[in-house]
Amino acid sequence: MVELEHARDLLENMGLKTAAELLDAQLERSLKAEETYIAFLLELLTVEETERKRRGEEMRIKLSRLPHRKTLGEFDFDFQPSIDKRQIDELATLAFAARAENVIFLGPPGVGKTHLAVGLAMQALKSGLTVYYTNLSQLITDMKKAQELNRLERRWRVYLKPDILIIDEVGYLQLDRKEAQLLFRLVCERYEQGSIILTSNKYFSDWGELMSDSVIATAMLDRLLHHAHVINIRGDTYRLKNRRKSGVILTPPADIPALK
Ligand code: ADP
Ligand code: MG
């Protein structure tokens, strides 16, 4: 049918690729069901829109560089009773991101800080927001490299543009003053502009030492915590869950700083 081919070409040319692909099948289905014209049109446009949304989400997930795709639904809240599930549910509405507020997960290794950060990110990506994931060590390495190549200003956009920036694993790497200043500048520039989700195994009182400068640490925390949701997880590591169950109880090595 010449008309059918023409219609398919027009859809293609206008960028409605999925509708073009599914035109035959949708038409056949619609004829069989004796649908109205408007119902046919609506179905065709809906499949196009659904596919577009899916592709957009997939692209945003890739660009976010998340380490995995774990969701909040996969988080076992019963295992971690120190977390108030209502608080996480409230964060999952993403009102925090609309208000450019920060979320800070504190706690020892293995309690689910990264999982929860990624879970919130997945929720945000689904709703159309943009996210970028990094950990403190990667962030500092990347910024210093850009600085050496005189590309810091351009690189900076990667960290300023996304609606949510995740900075994972703050506390493992001790920063020198110059590095702390880079982080401080980032925190200042995102302040009240875009959310940061940060995870740390250290208490805020340790940040002076972590940043090798208590003045910078205080100024940084002042901005980070001004509009922030702090979730302090005081529980067992999930990584040892099964080993605990089977009766092999391990004590964490002494060099892993536990939160008091
Ligand atoms: P952290 O970042 O605090 O060190 P992770 O979020 O990386 O911990 O968690 C370690 C592993 O255990 C991950 O595979 C994570 O998905 C899983 N995990 C941690 N807590 C839970 C939980 N309460 N329910 C389900 N999985 C969990
Ligand atoms: Mg982690």
Residues near ligand 1 (Cβ within 6 A) = 70, 75-76, 79-80, 107, 109-115, 199, 238-239
Q: pTM (2 decimals)?
A: 0.87
**The ligand 1 atom nearest the CA atom of 83:** 23
Q: How many C-beta atoms lie closer than 10 Å to residue 207's C-beta? A: 22
| CA torsion through residues 88, 186, 190, 57, sign | negative
- Residue 112: nearest ligand to its CA? 1
Ligand 1 atom 5 nearest Cα: 112
Q: Topology of domain 65-245, per CATH?
A: Rossmann fold (3.40.50)
User: Tokens representing 8?
Assistant: 């398919």
Q: Where are any strands of DSSP class E within the chain? A: 102-106, 131-135, 164-170, 195-200, 228-232
Q: What is the pLDDT of residues 212-247, one digit of tens each?
A: 999 999 999 999 999 999 999 998 888 877 665 555
What is the location of CATH 3.40.50.300 in the chain?
65-245
Q: What is the pLDDT of residues 152-209, one digit of tens each?
A: 999 999 999 999 999 999 999 999 999 999 999 999 999 999 999 999 999 999 999 9
**The ligand 1 atom nearest the CA atom of 107:** 3
Residue 146 has pLDDT above 50, yes or no: yes
Residue 165 backbone phi and psi in degrees, to 5: -110, 125
- Residue 71: nearest ligand to its CA? 1
Cα(255) to centroid(ligand 1), Å: 20
